[in-house]
Amino acid sequence: MPSKSVLWEELTWEQITQLRDRDINLVILPIGATEQHALHLPVGVDTFSATAVAHGVSAQTGIPVLPALPDGCSLGHSKKWAGTLSLRPETLAVIVLEIAEWVASAGFSRLLLLNGHVTNWAPLRCGLENVRHRYPELRIALRFLRSCALR
């Protein structure tokens, strides 16, 4: 069992091919947000949380983790506080579709979207449906970080 996270961006294309050829067919995409969280938390906390969980899963399973998407859909956060960077819902959905295209072309057949921010849910769900329509051979799932907590 691996003890270190398998990070896509640290691998060569040959190593990625070897993973695929060893029947590792799943990749994890952590998705967070960059937004204000009052005075007590950094603006990247949603991304940090999703990434940490993805890395932990990878370290236990050997499943590769794609580079995290640090900007989500945070339009509801006020521009009154500096720090928020937001994508429009349709932009986030398209980004998921385009990443899925490359995951499928690399020969992986399953993609897990690991969401760390509440208001990403609807755009990610739309992205998931677009992926299912465009790439029916690719299995895609969406999980919210809070639903992955140990009980």
Is the per-residue pLDDT at 150 higher than 60?
no
Question: What is the model's pLDDT at position 115?
Answer: 98
Question: What is the model's pLDDT at position 52?
Answer: 96
- Sign of the CA dihedral with 3 first, then 115, 145, and 32 last: positive
DSSP class per residue in 52-108: HHHHHHHHHH--EEPPPB-----TTS-TTSTT-B---HHHHHHHHHHHHHHHHHTT-
Give CA angle at 144 (16, 29), nearest 5°.
15
CATH number of 6-148: 3.40.50.10310
Q: Provide the pLDDT confidence category of residue 76 given band limits of 50, 70 and 90.
A: confident
Q: Which residues pair with residue 8 across a beta bridge?
A: none
Q: CB of 74 within 8 A of CB of 86?
A: yes
Tokens of 138: 């690719």
pLDDT (tens digit, 9 = 90+) per residue, 102-133?
A: 999 999 999 999 999 999 999 999 999 999 99
pTM of the model: 0.94
Q: Which residues pair with residue 110 across a beta bridge?
A: 26, 139
Say how far apart CA 14 and CA 98 lie, in whole Å. Answer: 22
Question: What is the model's pLDDT at position 80?
Answer: 80
**Domain spans in the chain, listed from the N-terminal domain onward:** 6-148
Is the per-residue pLDDT at 151 higher than 60?
no
Share of residues in the chain with pLDDT > 70 (%): 96
